Structure 1
Amino acid sequence: MVKEIPGPPSPEQMEEGRKLFAGDCAFFFGAQKLEQLFEGNRPELAFAGRSNVGKSSLINALTGRKALARASSEPGRTKQLNFFNLADRLTLVDMPGYGFAKASKSVKEDWQGMMFDYLRGRPNLVRVVLLIDSRVGLKASDREICDLLDKAAVVYQVVLTKCDAIKENELKKRLEEIQSFLKTHPAAFPFILPTSSEKSLGIAELRGILSQFSEPV
């Protein structure tokens, strides 16, 4: 059973995370329909967020790759779950972005259909990392996804992205706003982590947190 982390990881956990994410990581499967999914044999961590939130950049920063996860040339267009094998100990799942204006209806349908079925029915899904753009905070689509995750009974942790792009006092205010919102959501993990893929802010800490879900060596 995974030990819950109420706050920043310890130095020992961060070292575990460094070693894990320094291992081999490669794409191995993509699914556009639920019936295409394979039976997972490793713990899965899913990354979710609005289009343009910096999801691909964060996954690349975590794994130390430049192009492991690739952003679509047209935001909101990607409609498949992408699976990555991390050192044979953990599976990272890149979920389709949501909330892009030109594709909002179809993306919402995907999330309420296949995505909800994946979230609700995946026994080895151990955590969802929900990315929120620190520059704009919670949007209506983010709030809808929080409700969806609550209904699916999947624990999710909010990670703020692009935190290098706002001032410290603005970041503090954003953290307080989101923390207050999450208090009303039973599936939300209480610790929010600020990150910046550009400046490597919070990356080591996030590795330390996520490594606690991996299979032992």
Structure 2
Amino acid sequence: MTDSSDIDPTLIEAGRLLFAGSADFFSAAPSLGSLPPMKGVEIAFAGRSNVGKSSLVNALTGRTTLARTSHTPGRTQQLNFFDIGGRLTLVDMPGYGFAAVEKAKVAAWTELIHAYLRGRANLSRVFMLIDSRHGFKAIDTDILDGLDKAAVSYQIVLTKGDELKKSEIEARTHNIEAAISRRPAAYPEVLLTSSRDSRGIPELRASIARLIAEHGG
């Protein structure tokens, strides 16, 4: 696990500046046919229902209502696209797994997720959000298997880190790092975050800024 003291301060500042600028919702896609045109660097946030994707998007951008949040799993029902300062497209994906809606709708969302991850040529990285209290579930590893097979780069981001003790954090991150060390498309750095107390947010911003720099953005 990485903390801000391990990261180049210029990357920390670049990440801060990236998300200090404009952040605007510009498209929603309930199906592959309604996806916006591909442009520039695109990243996606994926995770189980109620893992905290929308809350993390809001924490990254320093806003409270950019992405819709809910205590009811399954409220994000489409791919939501946000423009970050004209330099990055951030995609908030439907939560996979349990959702408080009809099974047929869950199946449709799941297929949309898989199809998007396989076919989006400008998708630079998927940030896989995992609830730090629970670690990997079987459905998470199914998604990781698909990303490995499609050679789509992904990075593990642990959410709700404020709810763990220090010893629990160390054990959880060690187990996650060991699990992804054998996965070909996994980025080796695991980030622990909390939308409540902002831990890990500067590091996540820096990781995204580094990705943009690597792609010439």
Question: Which residue in the other structure is 1:176 paired with?
Answer: 174
Q: 1:88-139 CA distances to partner (integer Å, 9 max, x unpaired)?
A: 000000000012165595435533x222221111111100000011111111
127, 131, 134: which one pairs with 2:132? 134
**CA drift at 1:201:** 0.4
Partner amino acid, structure 2, of 1:146: L
Aligned mates of 2:211, 2:184 — CA distance in 1:
20
The answer for the alignment partner of 1:148 in structure 2 is: 146
Counterpart in the other structure of 2:42: 44
2:69 corresponds in structure 1 to 71
Q: Could you tell me which residue of structure 1 aligns to residue 109 of structure 2? A: 110
Q: 2:192 aligns with which of 191, 194, 207?
A: 194
What is the alpha-carbon distance in structure 1 between the residues aligned to residue 84 and residue 6 of structure 2? 22
> How many Å apart are 1:85 and its aligned residue?
0.4
User: Matched residues in 1 for 2:175 and 2:117: separation?
Assistant: 26
Deviation for aligned residue 1:149: 1.2
Structure 1 residue 16, shift from structure 2 partner? 0.4
Amino acid at match of 1:186: P
What secondary structure is seen at the aligned counterpart in 2 of 1:204? helix
Once residues 145 and 71 of structure 2 are traced to their aligned partners in structure 1, the CA distance between those partners, rounded to angstroms, is 29
SS in 2 for 1:212: helix
Counterparts of 1:104 and 1:133, CA distance in 2 = 24
> In structure 1, what is the equivalent of residue 91 of structure 2?
93
AA matched with 2:74: G
Cα pair 2:68 2:76 within 8 Å, conserved: no
After superposition, the Cα gap between the structure-2 partners of 1:56 and 1:158, relative to the gap in structure 1 and judged at 3 Å, is same
Q: Contact 2:78–2:109 at 8 Å: present in 1 too?
A: no
Aligned-residue identity in percent? 53
Does the Cα contact within 8 Å between 2:21 and 2:85 map onto a contact in 1? yes
Aligned equivalents of 1:153, 1:8: Cα separation in 2: 28
Alpha-carbon distance in structure 2 between the residues aligned to 1:134 and 1:93: 22
TM (norm. structure 1) is 0.90
Residue identity in the other structure for 2:177: Q
Equivalents in 1 of 2:85, 2:135: separation in Å? 33
Provide the C-alpha distance between the structure 1 equivalents of 2:106 and 2:150, rounded to a whole number of angstroms. Answer: 18
Q: 2:49, 2:99 within 8 Å by CA — same for their partners in 1?
A: no
> Structure 2 counterpart of 1:59, which letter?
V
Equivalent residue, structure 2, for 1:4: none
Count of aligned positions? 210
* Preserved CA contact (<8 Å) 1:156 1:189: yes
Cα RMSD, aligned residues only: 2.0
8 Å contact kept, 1:48–1:95 = yes
Q: Give the ranges of 4+ consecutive aligned residues of structure 1 lying more than 6 Å apart after TM superposition.
A: none
What residue ranges of structure 2 are gaps of 5+ in the alignment?
A: none
Report the 3-state secondary structure (helix = DSSP H, G, I; strand = E; otherwise coil) of the residue aligned with 2:38: coil
CA distance in 2, matches of 1:8, 1:92: 25
Structure 2: which amino acid aligns with 1:31? A
1:214 aligns with 2:212: yes
Q: Which residue of 2 aligns with 1:163?
A: 161
What is the aligned partner in structure 2 of residue 59 from structure 1? 57
